[in-house]
Amino acid sequence: MKILVTGAAGFIGSHTSERLAKMGHQVIGIDNFSPYYNIELKELNAKALSEKGIEILRFDLRTDNLVEALPEDLDYIFHFSAHPGISNTSTFEDYFSNNILATKNLIDFVLQCKKTPFIVNIGTSSIYGLEATFPENVVPKPASWYGVTKLAAEQLVLAKSREEKLQSTSLRLYSVYGPRERPDKLYTRLIDCGLNNKPFPLYDGSEKHLRSFTYVQDIVDGIVSVIGKEDIANGEIFNLGTEEESTTATGIETVENLLNTKIEISAKPPRAGDQSRTKANIDKARKLLNYNPTTNLEEGLKAQIAWFRTKFN
């Protein structure tokens, strides 16, 4: 199949692109190489994909002409492109343009294609709000610009399924970590601090936060499981993540044990919109997609540390 991956130079998008190519699909990747974090890291991801025969096009869904740049005979679109996370330096306009406007433009492109591809929208547990422990039929209560705009993007896509103008599904991902994790996220930053004797910024109270830390390859398993189950997945929302909960404090301790070091903590004020608890309820994905994440936290962090040492030390 011919598959488009948006945000293909990013963390999860790059891993998914590799998996799809390994499955024998023709993968076309696009990314706008946003400066939200170090572009050199995205360049490293793009290079790794290029070495596997996957070309990444520099393309901005918000402003570039999709009809001129993209093929109209796609079978699938995996839509990762977004302004991610909770950041005090990001404006509402950043989230709006990257998460809502870009998604609307992508839908407009799909609706004029000669062959309508199946859209897999990549959502987030932040859609649920300050606690994300619920099944997919619970009313969302997002508590951040990120969560609000990702919910809007999700509904833009699913609305077209309800109108029967295309087929789509949305996957809400839980606390993904592993090789290529963004530098602003927990484990890449922890590993950097532990290996390079830097203080780790810890938001007050966050050491008690509970998370479904999910290894990236377990997430990719769930993402690609949609292929071949289009009739089942169309119009549906699925949670993807591990059911195992760990506190941030446990995560810090695990990294310290694996690195055989003590990480200095630099206390920071609480961060608005930060979730207090996420626990992936995956009953629906397990039943309908045969989803079953298996990697425990220590195993996943060993792989992430090995990646970090190779790329940065």
Domain range enclosing 101? 2-175+214-242+280-295
276 Cβ neighbours under 8 A, 6+ residues apart: 130, 131, 208, 209, 210
Tell me what pLDDT residue 242 has.
97
Give the mean model confidence (pLDDT) for residues 40-46.
94
Residue 134, in any domain of the structure: yes
Give the mean model confidence (pLDDT) for residues 101-129.
97
Give the mean model confidence (pLDDT) for residues 162-186.
96
Residue 9, in any domain of the structure: yes
Q: What are phi and psi of 186, to 5 degrees?
A: -55, -55
Under 8 Å between Cβ of 242 and 212: yes
Q: Which positions are annotated as active-site residues?
A: 146
Give the mean model confidence (pLDDT) for residues 130-134.
94
Tell me what pLDDT residue 205 has.
83
Query: Which range among 37-41, 83-87, 268-272 shows the weakest confidence by mean pLDDT?
Result: 268-272
CA nearest 294: which of 238, 243, 224?
Answer: 243
Tell me what pLDDT residue 213 has.
96
* Pairwise CA distance, residues 142 & 128, whole Å: 5
* Pairwise CA distance, residues 249 & 247, whole Å: 5
Give the mean model confidence (pLDDT) for residues 267-293.
91
Under 8 Å between Cβ of 268 and 201: yes
Classify residue 214 by its DSSP letter. E
CATH number for 128: 3.40.50.720
Give the mean model confidence (pLDDT) for residues 234-258.
97
Number of other CB atoms surrounding residue 144 within 10 Å: 21
Helices and strands, counts by H and E, the chain: 12, 15
Under 8 Å between Cβ of 104 and 63: no
Helix 297-312 × helix 248-259 angle, to 10°: 60
Residue 268, in any domain of the structure: no
Residue 312, in any domain of the structure: no
Residue 255, in any domain of the structure: no
Residue 263, in any domain of the structure: no
Residue 264, in any domain of the structure: no
**For 225-296, where are the alpha helices, taking DSSP H only?**
230-233, 248-259, 283-289
Tell me what pLDDT residue 138 has.
97
pLDDT digits (tens, 9 = 90+) for 76-100: 999 999 999 888 789 999 999 999 9
Residue 39, in any domain of the structure: yes
Region label for 222, one of left (φ > 0), alpha (ψ between -120 and 50) or beta (otherwise): alpha
Count the domains in the chain: 1
Residue 312, pLDDT above cutoff 90: no
Query: Which range among 169-183, 197-211, 212-226, 240-254 shows the weakest confidence by mean pLDDT?
Result: 197-211
How sure is the predictor about 24, in pLDDT bands with cuts at 50, 70 and 90? very high
C-alpha to C-alpha distances, 295 to 177, 215, 243, 254, 299, nearest whole angstrom: 11, 6, 11, 15, 6
Dihedral of alpha carbons 226, 231, 236, 239, sign: negative
CA nearest 285: which of 220, 227, 234, 241?
Answer: 241
Tell me what pLDDT residue 313 has.
66
- In the predicted model, what is the mean pLDDT of the chain? 95
Query: Which range among 32-41, 124-133, 147-156 shows the weakest confidence by mean pLDDT?
Result: 32-41
* Pairwise CA distance, residues 300 & 186, whole Å: 13
